[in-house]
Structures are given as structure tokens and as C-alpha cells.
Amino acid sequence: MTLNIGVIGTGAIGREHIRRCSQVLQNSRVVALNDIDRRQCEEVAAALQLQAEIYDSAHDLINAPDVQAVLVTSWGPTHEEFVLAAIKAGKAVFCEKPLAVTAQGCMNIVEAEMAGGKKRVQVGFMRPYDSGYRALKQVLESGEIGAPLMLHCAHRNPEVGDSYTTDMAITDTLIHELDVLRWLLNDDYVSAQVIWPRKTRHASSHLKDPQIVLLETAQGTRIDVEIFVNCQYGYDIQCEVVGESGIARLPEPVAVQTRSNAALSVAILTDWKKRFIDAYDVELQAFINNVLADELTGPSAWDGYAAAVAADACVAAQKSGDIVQITMPPRPAFYQ
């Protein structure tokens, strides 16, 4: 069986996912494209030699009879509208993060999905599909290091453009930690605080960089995440779990160690696309398989909502300097 996919948004990640679904993964083909810029769809279709229909309206693509599943990879503020339309059309939808730009927008999707009585939404949180995070979770669940007490994490990018703002450090960058750490610990956040080290001279005048987000979970685990988006040296993701009887660290990406010129070295990645390239493949293959099996199991609309609630609290904490409480409603049975 082959899943016919329609893609809305043919920008950076859209093109990557179109290439995956048409050339790398199994049992899928891209049959429909839409972007606000039609020429972009034509370019992508030509570059990848796709036999795909190009739609001027995202809603016409969603409702096209031959489109069985929809990938939403357009600009964040459009996600809610397109995901709600896919649910209404009874189609499975993979939506890149954020599910919606507000927690209320995510809740609208949760409510629509529950009203339809069937899980149709997977959110593009790919880190739970990364082999390193999966191995780390296995160690935690084995009990080898006891209960997790503290997590020390870092999310570092070499540099960001001038349009990157201080709150985007939460909504675009930390959002991945907000999702994956909740999944790793099987726990929810109860408070957030943001503290500010000395600012780097490499950040633009309007950007506060680096910043440290302090989170507390319902079970009492304390998490610090350093977000440093002009670190210069590489794209570097760190996660160390301190347990009652040991420490577990996220493995480094595989890289050859060299001895030359009187130095022992290992290269550090600089491109975020390469750091999680396998995880993107695994997450989308899982989506395709699950849609064909008629049972979605990946990051859900509820997970998108939970990350958005925590992100809102972190942005409020950035602004106030206070410890901000995070209140999550109980998880509905639909998402257990």
C-alpha cells in the first residue's frame, strides 16, 4: 500500500520532507503541493521529478480526493487553520512544530480531534525518534541510575539572523527540549524561570543571548537548559541526567576522531538539519506506517498543547523575571 501525501509549504523543511517522502521512505508518494508562492512548488516538483498536482489553495489540496494525508510545513501562524481543515476533512495530518502559535490554538485542535473521535494529528517533534534520546530513555527506564534528580541541558547554534528575537529562543529553539524532556521523564512541568548570564558580543542589539531556563517537574526533577544561539563553534545539543545512583548522558553524534598536527580532534556539526537527519526519516516513516495501519502513535496534539503551555510560561518568565507556575489540565483519556 502507498500513502498519497499532499504538502502545504515548500520552504526549507517542506522540501526536505518532500524529498524524504518521495525518494527515501517506503510506501509514500507526494501527489499534491501548495505554497503561497506557486513558483516554489513548480521548482520543487521539477527538481525532484515529481508527478504532483499543484494547488493554489491549501484547502483544495486538503479536500482533494486522492490526498490521503497532509503534511503542514508552512509558516507557523498558518498551522492551526490547516490542521483544523484536515481534521474536518477526515484526513491524517503531520504538522511541523508549532502545532499552533498559542496554547489556545493547540487546544482548539485537541478539541476538534476529540470531537471527531479519532487521532488524526502527529506533531513534528522529531527528537523522540532520535536513537540517542531513545537510548537515554531506555537507561532511565531500566532503573540503572535510579530516579532522575537533575538534568543539565544545552541547545547551542553557531549563529542566528537579525530577525531572531529573544522570545524565539523559547518558541523556536527551547520548544524541542520542552517536548523531548517531558517525554524522556514521563513527567509534566510545574514551573519555569529564566535567568540571564552576561550577554555575548556576537548577539544582535535586540537579542538577549545566552539565557538559562530553569524548569521544575511535577515529580520534583530540576532542569536547567542553556540556550546559546550565537555560540560560534557549532550546533551542539547536550543532555545529562543526574540520577540517585549514576549519571546518563545523551551520546554525541558519530564522528571520526583524528590525531594530526599535534592535536586529538573530533569535528562538531554546524548544521541542525544534519544533527537529526535520521530522526526526521524515522518520524515520517512512523507517520506513514501508522496512517496506513490506521493508528497514530507519535507526538500527539496533546503533546503539542503541553509544549505550548510550557512555552507560554517560559516567555512570561523571560518578561517578568519571576518563577512562573505552569498548570496543565489533566490529560484526557483520549490521549492516554
Residues in contact with ligand NAP by CB under 6 A are 8-14, 34-37, 40, 58, 73-76, 78, 96-97, 124, 126, 172
- Select 16 or 214, whichever has its Cβ closest to ligand NAP: 16
- Select 191 or 280, whichever has its Cβ closest to ligand NAP: 280
Q: How far is the CB of 14 from ligand NAP (least distance, A)?
A: 5
Q: How far is the CB of 154 from ligand NAP (least distance, A)?
A: 17
Q: How far is the CB of 193 from ligand NAP (least distance, A)?
A: 25
d(CA 251, CA 98) in angstroms, rounded, equals: 26
- Select 216 or 236, whichever has its Cβ closest to ligand NAP: 236
Instruction: List Cα–Cα distances, 101 to 10, 78, 170, 317, in angstroms.
Output: 20, 9, 12, 18
d(CA 168, CA 211) in angstroms, rounded, equals: 12
Grid cell listed for 152: 543539565
Cβ burial, residue 145 (10 Å; 0-12/13-18/19+): middle
- Select 11 or 234, whichever has its Cβ closest to ligand NAP: 11
Q: Which of 150, 151, 147, 170 is nearest to 324 (CA)?
A: 170
- Select 57 or 325, whichever has its Cβ closest to ligand NAP: 57
Grid cell listed for 111: 478539541
How many other CB atoms are there within 10 angstroms of residue 282's CB atom? Answer: 17
Percent helix, strand, coil in the chain, to 5, is 40, 25, 35
Q: How far is the CB of 180 from ligand NAP (least distance, A)?
A: 11
Contact predicate 34/67, CB 8 Å? no
Residue nearest to ligand NAP (CB): 11
- Select 14 or 243, whichever has its Cβ closest to ligand NAP: 14
- Residue 251: phi and psi, rounded to 5, are -65, 150
Q: How far is the CB of 302 from ligand NAP (least distance, A)?
A: 18
- Residue 193: phi and psi, rounded to 5, are -145, 150
Q: How far is the CB of 8 from ligand NAP (least distance, A)?
A: 5
d(CA 304, CA 12) in angstroms, rounded, equals: 21
Q: How far is the CB of 79 from ligand NAP (least distance, A)?
A: 7
- Select 96 or 216, whichever has its Cβ closest to ligand NAP: 96
